[in-house]
Amino acid sequence: MKTNSTRQLRISWFEKNIQWMLIVPTVILLLALTVYPLVYLVIGMFHTINIRTGERTFVGLGNFIEMVQDPFFWNAMKNTAIYTCSAVAIEFGLGLFLAVALSRRIVGRNIFRSLILTPMMLPPIVAAVIFKIIYMPDFGILNWFLALFGIEGIIWEASVNTALISLIIVDVWQWTPFMFLILLAGLQAIPLDPYEAAEVDGATGLQIFRDITFPLLKPAVLIALLLRIMDTFRIFDQIFIMTGGGPANATETMSIYIYRHGFRFSDVGYATAMSFVMLIITIMISNIFIKRLRTEEVF
Amino acid sequence: MKVRSFFRYLVIILITLAIIFPVIWLVSTSFKNPVDIFAVPPIFIPGNPTTDHYATLFFEADIFKYILNSVIVASITTLVSLLAGTLAAYSLARFKFPLNLNFHLSFWVLSTRMFPPIVTIIPLFAMMRFFGLVNTRIGLILAYSAFNLPFVVWMMRGFFMEIPKELEEAAMVDGDSRMTAFRRIILPIAKPGLVATAVFTMILSWNEFLFALILSQTRAAATLPIGIASTVTQYEIKWGQMSAAGVIAVVPVLVFAFIVQRHLVRGMSFGAIKG
């Protein structure tokens, strides 16, 4: 009788606090993923750390002073900025064009849509592999194709001048479909009534796009840009396979540079300091977008 | 008007071809003899196709081990993150927390998605080493589960919020406990969403490279992307094997993508757009 009532008590306690019970496992896992690394970074960035022995030496702001004076750090920042801005801008332009073109009634629209969406599902590693084959300098299909138009001798990811562009092309190929997908969904969610009203009022095509389509498309645009900027800013996989950051650091982005210091040079203190900077930039960019998204009531 | 619509089709067809061609080229290369891979002008459909590259991968390069690791890691990760994430999502969608915690918790979950992986991997590596989990599947599964959780929570939270509260309230009036009502009423309704979320989690884990590169350097835990990367060495690129391994990695992903077609917009926009 007694055991039965304690059991009942326990169940009702569990039932009463069920909302907390349900969320605790997730909170613990995410603490391990966010708060612990943050603490590690904030401690690590003031030290030099030997990853093998785990030995720490306090260096104060030494890592940050080194960073400011390190030309390769600024090179990585510059490459990341160029990569992020140009890849996202091109993807947005192409994606918007495709979305508008396919938002009208077109024969075989679903087939086009499925085919166009293929690249974004692939492992980024495979996208890199595919373009390694396409870019082959002497026997590659791209150079054979360009030679038909008299353009010869481009060595793509192997040349300092074209390496970064070659990688941006891979990104554009893989992720334009994503922009297309999100923008198409945004376009299709717009109701028809405002268009009919605008037509009755005699609005021009440009006016309609500026005053109706674009404002209603804004949440989709913001989401697409936010997710793409976050992902290009951290770009690693394709570069690791295609160039490893070379030739002559021409494709070295923040992620690649931090990886090299953390895991190749065993310079963990410096790597954590750079990670911290990267994290701050990420938080700043995503905050801008999330504020806008909240006023648009997406989140 | 006819001319304009003709040009529109032409442009759409050309772009679609440009997008799909690289994938076809990968498949074609994987079946070519070494001589044909380097042929000028390029050979589009190999005249005498070979399966040698696949045979080499399976019998000499141990690709089976990589595939097995990928399958194990991806499926257990999906189970773990779905179990934890679905419960948390239900809690966030249904209960009122004090101090506006619903909002703050949801937002904190979302913000973890913004963390660049390279930023978390150094501390994570140190932690895994401390617990002896480097080069084990368990280490990789734990890392993947944690980084897939935000996705699962946001997706499932959206699906749960679309189900009317009255349904489980009615069941609870009839004497069900909260968890019984959840299991009996809500889960079956949310099943399509649950399946879509599971498939997306599978794809994300299957495709992941950076964590795998750092947390699983030996064959004991290395996943398929690591296997593919190993065909590109400092001294040579094994073109045939590389493309064959690429095809092997792509096939399951395309099957999965086909399954989640209907939820593609939602999955790719982190649950933000209900497409």
Considering the domain architecture, whether residues B43 and B146 belong to the same structural domain is answered as no
Q: Report percent pLDDT > 90 for chain A.
A: 48
Interface contact B84-A106, CB threshold 8 A: no
Asked if B136 and B220 touch (Cβ cutoff 8 Å), the reply is yes
Q: What is the CATH number of the domain that holds B114?
A: 1.10.3720.10
Task: Collect all residues of chain A within an 8 Å Cβ-Cβ radius of residue B227.
Answer: none
Considering the domain architecture, whether residues B26 and B111 belong to the same structural domain is answered as no
In a domain, residue B100? The reply is: yes
Max Cα-Cα span within chain B: 75
On the question of pLDDT at A3 being above 60, the answer is: no
Interface contact B9-A126, CB threshold 8 A: no
C-alpha B137/C-alpha A134 separation (Å) is 34
Considering the domain architecture, whether residues B68 and B182 belong to the same structural domain is answered as yes
Give domain limits for chain A. Answer: 1-33, 70-266
| CB environment B91-127: b (16+ within 10 A), e (fewer) | bbbbeeeeeebbeebbebbbbbbbbbbbbbbbbbbbb
In a domain, residue B24? The reply is: yes
Residue A199: the pLDDT is 80
How many domains is chain B partitioned into structurally?
2
Q: Does domain A70-266 have CATH number 1.10.3720.10?
A: yes
Residue A1: the pLDDT is 43
Considering the domain architecture, whether residues B38 and B109 belong to the same structural domain is answered as no
A245 touches chain B (CB under 8 A): no
Provide the residue range defining the domain that includes B9.
2-50
Considering the domain architecture, whether residues B167 and B253 belong to the same structural domain is answered as yes
Q: For residue B14, how many C-alpha atoms fall within 13 Å in the half-sphere facing its CB?
A: 6
Amino acid sitting at position A34: T
Considering the domain architecture, whether residues B108 and B178 belong to the same structural domain is answered as yes
Considering the domain architecture, whether residues B185 and B261 belong to the same structural domain is answered as yes
pLDDT category of residue A11 using cuts at 50, 70 and 90: low
In a domain, residue B8? The reply is: yes
Q: Over chain B, what is the mean pLDDT?
A: 89
On the question of pLDDT at B92 being above 50, the answer is: yes
B42 touches chain A (CB under 8 A): yes
B45-80 residue pLDDT tens: 888 899 999 999 998 888 999 999 999 999 999 999
Element (H, E) at A282: helix A268-295
Residue B275: the pLDDT is 63
Considering the domain architecture, whether residues B18 and B99 belong to the same structural domain is answered as no
Interface A–B counts its CB contacts (< 8 A) at 271
Residue A7: the pLDDT is 59
C-alpha A218/C-alpha A211 separation (Å) is 11
In a domain, residue B220? The reply is: yes
Considering the domain architecture, whether residues B84 and B203 belong to the same structural domain is answered as yes
In a domain, residue B275? The reply is: no
Q: For testing the chain B interface, which of A41, A56, A125 should be mutated: the one with the most B CBs within 10 Å?
A: A125
C-alpha A116/C-alpha A94 separation (Å) is 12
ipTM field? 0.91
pLDDT category of residue B29 using cuts at 50, 70 and 90: very high
Considering the domain architecture, whether residues B117 and B164 belong to the same structural domain is answered as yes
Considering the domain architecture, whether residues B201 and B73 belong to the same structural domain is answered as yes
